[in-house]
Structure formats: structure tokens, C-alpha cells
Amino acid sequence: MNAQLLIKAAITVALVLLASVIARRPGVLGALVASLPVTSLLVLGWLYADTRDPKQVADMAMGILWFVLGSLPFFVVLAVSLRQGLAVVPSFVLAALAGFSGTVLVQWLLTRDTTGVS
């Protein structure tokens, strides 16, 4: 394993741990930190560091945007099901299914042939 990979891993772990500690705080600060695209920021930063290609980073950022939109049903289903009194585990399962379905839908929309030619 090379040193660059180990440095990336250490920085990534440190940032994720920091975000998870801050996110435990009640109120808006915790929600704000949890909503930050830490993983995306790390991936885009490492991609640029590795490739020095801003176009590739821009393309990845747009791809992430579409999949974030597809994952939004996860949060809606989780919040609604918990507020309706459903137990935590079934709520997470339903939310995961909703998020997965949204992501699959986005994948289908992005890859479907719109030319009408098979």
C-alpha cells in the first residue's frame, strides 16, 4: 500500500469522524453537518488531486447531483414513518427501499435511449 493512499484514508476517516461527532449535537448544527456532502467533497477532491482534470471533476459533480436527487425519498420516508410511530428498523428498511428505488429511477432516466433507435 502506498503512502498517498494511506494519507487519503487517514484524512477521510478523520473528516468523517469529525462530522459524525458534530452531527450528534442537537438542533440545526447537527442537521447542517449531517447534510453536508462530506463524501462527495472528499471524492471530488481526491479525483482532482489524482487527475488534475477539472472537466472530469465537473462531470462527476453532475452525476452526484442526479443521484442525490434520487436518494431524497429516503429522508422523506424515514421522517414520515418514524413520526407515524413505526418502529425504527422497519422505518429504516422502508426508507432504504425508497432511496434505492429513487436511485434506480435516476439511473434508468440517465441511461435510457431517447433517440427511439434500438
Per residue, the 3-state secondary structure of the chain, as one string, reads CCHHHHHHHHHHHHHHHHHHHHHCCCCHHHHHHHHCCHHHHHHHHHHHHHHCCHHHHHHHHHHHHHHHHHHHHHHHHHHHHHHCCCCHHHHHHHHHHHHHHHHHHHHHHHHCCCCCCC
**Residue 9 in domain:** no
- Total domains in the fold of the chain: 1
**Residue 42 in domain:** no
pTM for the full model?
Answer: 0.70
**Residue 111 in domain:** yes
**Residue 72 in domain:** yes
Q: For the residues 51-68, what does the mean pLDDT come to?
A: 94
Q: Give pLDDT tens digits for 25-38.
A: 776 776 776 677 87
State the residue range of the domain holding 117. Answer: 54-118
Which residue type, as a one-letter code, is found at position 114? T
**Residue 22 in domain:** no
pLDDT over 80 at 61, yes or no:
yes
Q: Give pLDDT tens digits for 79-116.
A: 999 999 999 999 999 999 999 999 999 999 989 877 76
